[in-house]
Structure 1
Amino acid sequence: MKSSDLTRPFYFLWTTQTAANAADVLYIMALTVLVLDRTDSLVSAALMPLMRSGAQMLSSLIAPLLINRFKLSKLLLMSQVGQFLLFIGLAVYLQLNGEASSLVLVFLLVFVMSFLDGWTTPARNALVPRLVVREQGLLKANGLLSVSDQIVQFAGWGLSGIIVAFMGASPTLLLTAVIYGLAAVFTLGVKEPVRSEVVGKKLDALSNPVSEIGTSKWHTLTEGWKMIWETPRLRVLTFMDIIDMLGASIWVGAFTLAFVQVALGQGEEWWGFINAAYFAGTIGGGLLVLALARTIGNRYVMVMMIGMAGYGVLTALYALNTLPFVALILVMLMGPFAELSVINRRTLIQHSVDKQLLPKVLSAQASLMHLVFCISLLGMAGLAEYIGIVNLYLFAAGLTILALLVGLLSYRAFRDQADHTHISG
């Protein structure tokens, strides 16, 4: 990977996001253990991810207003510093009050932290094209971020369980606060190119000359949504994302455990093996994208379609299989195809809109995906009761194939629309 492809500010962005993701995993594990110990209720523990998704969805909805006022790097810094301070307050509160601490206050703080976290992913993905200098650098940057995300997920859950068991929930939150503090420090190194800032201000002045009045604020909030609807390529990619996301919840713990028990006839240890194999496959997939960046070139659509086709077929084979070791192999093979699809789709989206409007588009997409995932969680749970866990996985495979067909039938949208993004800018 040439240093000319990825700039120093990108590596700061990569480092701060990796640290923040690690802190997220730690604090979710610590608070889940804390809530379960206090309430002995899975429902109470399940409220936390639901609250997180809800807060992030709301945050993504109002993110365009913040994007109009602040630079993306400053938004990231505000988010990291805010979460750092809230974590300090939460950890100290739990340490001082112990069993007498209020879970209502704990959930409220989780909601506020998740709200602050809601604009980080759109901001991060919108910053990436500004921090690379060549077209190949964009694919490499997305691949590198994806690999680090998957490694944190793969190693984080296992290590966080050990840390919580060894240190206890409250001290783990103090450690989380320290990691968030480091993430905030690294964010100081994320500097946007001066040219991007100047062009951005000119665009803002032209598109939104009276930003203080209500109609202008409404325009700001809806600009990303309008761009998605009016741009054929963005509309198709978003629709494909929605269809694919509807089936994504099958890899949430409860569904994978049910499949392992019912279809494979194995215990909880195989649940861990399946999860580990899937994450190992996605890490391998991210590394594959990095290795093939030059070969892929600008053939993002073709590679995305190949990834979706492979993932859909392998998911169907996984659903029909009853042999545990074959299931491990299939799940591991899914990872590279999933990453080929996701990374190239993200790169296509980044290419499909001007860099200055990209944050608003990504904010709209993020809020939509949070909503779709919540619907998927609830819908798939009900559907599993009705059609059974094996048919649920076949249904999810069918959704991926449907998303692929949408892309193939709409191929003209990819072929006709010229790229808006100039990587050198």
Structure 2
Amino acid sequence: MKSSILTRPFYYLWTTQTTANAADVLYIMALTVLVLNRTDSLVSAALMPLMRSGAQMLSGLIAPLLMNRFKLPALLLLSQTGQCILFLCLALYLQLNDNNSSLVLVFTLVFIMSFLDGWTVPARNALVPRLVAHEQGLLKANGLISVSDQVVQFAGWGLSGLIVAFLGPGHTLLLTVILYGLAAVFTLGVKEPPDVESVRRHTAEDNSAAPSSKWHTLTEGWKMIWQMSRLRLLTFMDIIDMLGGSVWVGAFTLAFVQVALGKGEEWWGFINGAYFAGTVGGGLLVLTLARAIGNRYLAAMLIGMAGYGILTALYAINTRPIIALILVLLMGPFAELSIVNRRTLIQRSVAKETLPKVLSAQASLLNLVFCISLLVMASLAEWFGIVNLYLLAAGLTLLALGVGLIGRRTFHNAADPGAGD
């Protein structure tokens, strides 16, 4: 029987995460509408992404302990089953109480669900190298996951608005319950290879025999990021880029459309749709170019960052809506070229057994940076102006590019895993 680069367990992982992402989009839209209808306050609605990022950051801090003791598929199953149960409780509560429901309780449940969701992305990204039969298929696997993520975002936000308008927030949450239930069922098909399971069991036995090593387990990923020059550089580039990344949150893009382009909410929708269409096209481009890119991940990542930064700067100074639409459409492929190759570089820089701890530490750090960026950018928008805010974001991306160019020798260091880029 001919072996495939992408294994059957990988396709189960891909399916379960796509389903869970669709559920996420639905429930965020439903709860945003619910909060806006109840409070008529954009500030209250903005608490949702802030609370989600904060909960996921805390979850990432303790994730290494769980990942050290349990299989990664088991953690995914726990997360999705737990969220399914909590969504069911929330949906029933809203159905029974309607306008008398407590928003404090709603936000508390969102925090707990986000906490459970906090280890799913690092667990997924750590599983990908384990479930790909050949290393040359890693970029293809990451590209495929990225395409599905963006398709869900692109189609999901438009469709979820229609679903919420037709069903209402309460019934939409019941649909979310079904999607999370399906995601949990698909997770049952995700199996780790026997050699990885053997190493995991041995590590778990060592840790249970030495309780004092829990601190070592919690900090091991952080230490590796600091000690490994390649990881340290990639994480630093991620942080700089993330500081400006929050300008694409809905409130900022709406303000830009109104102030810089002189258009209304309909063009806000066009800009968002064009950006997501571009990222879908970018993911497909990465899949098409996977063989041509080969192991030149660094060059591909830097090209992506350069294109994205330049296009963001042009977008900031442009005042024509049609040109803005074209620019954001072109941004997508460059953004995906950067993101997918950066993820692949990180996965190739760390042993498969320790990768979950590194990804958990990075996820916590980047969630913290995103929260800080949201607050800082919101303050700067008032004082700095929305156009200058996008120029600042472009400058930060180009600064991250400069850091990568200066430190590119790190990626040719034979002492680091996956060298030869």
**What are the equivalent positions in structure 2 for 1:56-67 lying under 5 Å apart?**
56-67=56-67
Q: Which residue of 2 aligns with 1:308?
A: 305
Q: Find out whether 1:356 has 2:353 as its counterpart.
A: yes
Gaps of 5+ in 1: none
CA offsets per residue over residues 292-320 of structure 1, 9 Å max, x none?
11110000001001000111111111111
Which one-letter code corresponds to 2:187 in the other structure? T
Q: Which residue of 1 aligns with 2:211?
A: 212
Paired residues of 1:233 and 1:417 also in contact (CA < 8 A): no
C-alpha distance in 2 between matches for 1:418 and 1:191? 31
CA drift at 1:93: 1.4
Q: Which residue of 2 aligns with 1:339?
A: 336
Indicate the SS of the match to 2:211. Answer: coil
C-alpha distance in 2 between matches for 1:329 and 1:299? 28
C-alpha distance in 2 between matches for 1:366 and 1:134? 26
CA offsets per residue over residues 263-315 of structure 1, 9 Å max, x none?
11111111111111100000000000000111100000010010001111111
Match of 2:263 among 253, 263, 266: 266
Q: Which residue of 2 aligns with 1:154?
A: 154
Q: Find out whether 1:411 has 2:411 as its counterpart.
A: no
CA offsets per residue over residues 183-233 of structure 1, 9 Å max, x none?
000000000001111123345556x464423xx111111000000000000
Which one-letter code corresponds to 2:318 in the other structure? N
Indicate the SS of the match to 2:313. Answer: helix
C-alpha distance in 2 between matches for 1:96 and 1:3? 52
Which one-letter code corresponds to 1:293 in the other structure? A
- Give aligned-pair identity as a percent: 77
CA drift at 1:35: 1.6
CA offsets per residue over residues 166-191 of structure 1, 9 Å max, x none?
01111111111001000000000000
Q: Which residue of 1 aligns with 2:164?
A: 164
Tell me whether 16-25 or 2-11 shows the greater mean CA deviation: 2-11
Q: Find out whether 1:224 has 2:225 as its counterpart.
A: no
Q: Which residue of 1 aligns with 2:74?
A: 74
CA drift at 1:417: 4.1
C-alpha distance in 2 between matches for 1:377 and 1:362? 22
C-alpha distance in 1 between matches for 2:383 and 2:331? 26
Q: Which residue of 2 aligns with 1:89?
A: 89
**What are the equivalent positions in structure 2 for 1:176-195 lying under 5 Å apart?**
176-195=176-195
CA offsets per residue over residues 379-421 of structure 1, 9 Å max, x none?
1111122221111111111101110110111111111045636
C-alpha distance in 2 between matches for 1:396 and 1:51? 23
Indicate the SS of the match to 1:354. Answer: coil
CA 166–406 in structure 1, closer or farther in 2 if over 3 Å, else same:
same
C-alpha distance in 1 between matches for 2:271 and 2:15? 28
Indicate the SS of the match to 1:180. Answer: helix
**What are the equivalent positions in structure 2 for 1:6-405 lying under 5 Å apart?**
6-203=6-203, 208=207, 210-213=209-212, 216-405=213-402
Paired residues of 2:303 and 2:338 also in contact (CA < 8 A): yes
CA offsets per residue over residues 78-114 of structure 1, 9 Å max, x none?
0011001111111111112222222211111111100
Give the TM-score normalised by the residue count of structure 2.
Answer: 0.97
C-alpha distance in 1 between matches for 2:153 and 2:96? 31
CA offsets per residue over residues 211-260 of structure 1, 9 Å max, x none?
423xx111111000000000000000000000000000111111111111
C-alpha distance in 1 between matches for 2:205 and 2:181? 35
Paired residues of 2:69 and 2:200 also in contact (CA < 8 A): no
Which one-letter code corresponds to 1:246 in the other structure? L
Which one-letter code corresponds to 2:193 in the other structure? P
Which one-letter code corresponds to 2:126 in the other structure? A
Gaps of 5+ in 2: none
Which one-letter code corresponds to 1:358 in the other structure? L
Paired residues of 1:315 and 1:394 also in contact (CA < 8 A): yes
C-alpha distance in 2 between matches for 1:39 and 1:320? 35
Give the TM-score normalised by the residue count of structure 1.
Answer: 0.96
Paired residues of 1:35 and 1:44 also in contact (CA < 8 A): yes
Indicate the SS of the match to 1:190. Answer: coil
Which one-letter code corresponds to 1:154 in the other structure? F
Which one-letter code corresponds to 1:212 in the other structure? P
Which one-letter code corresponds to 1:90 in the other structure? L
C-alpha distance in 2 between matches for 1:211 and 1:375? 37
C-alpha distance in 2 between matches for 1:303 and 1:348? 11
CA drift at 1:3: 6.3
Paired residues of 1:140 and 1:293 also in contact (CA < 8 A): yes
CA 414–209 in structure 1, closer or farther in 2 if over 3 Å, else same:
farther
C-alpha distance in 2 between matches for 1:335 and 1:374? 23
Paired residues of 1:304 and 1:344 also in contact (CA < 8 A): yes
CA 106–197 in structure 1, closer or farther in 2 if over 3 Å, else same:
same
CA 170–209 in structure 1, closer or farther in 2 if over 3 Å, else same:
closer
Which one-letter code corresponds to 1:106 in the other structure? V
Q: Which runs of 4+ in 1 moved over 6 A?
A: none
Aligned residues: 418
Paired residues of 2:19 and 2:182 also in contact (CA < 8 A): yes
Paired residues of 1:308 and 1:338 also in contact (CA < 8 A): yes
Indicate the SS of the match to 1:247. Answer: helix
Which one-letter code corresponds to 2:97 in the other structure? N
C-alpha distance in 1 between matches for 2:112 and 2:388? 38
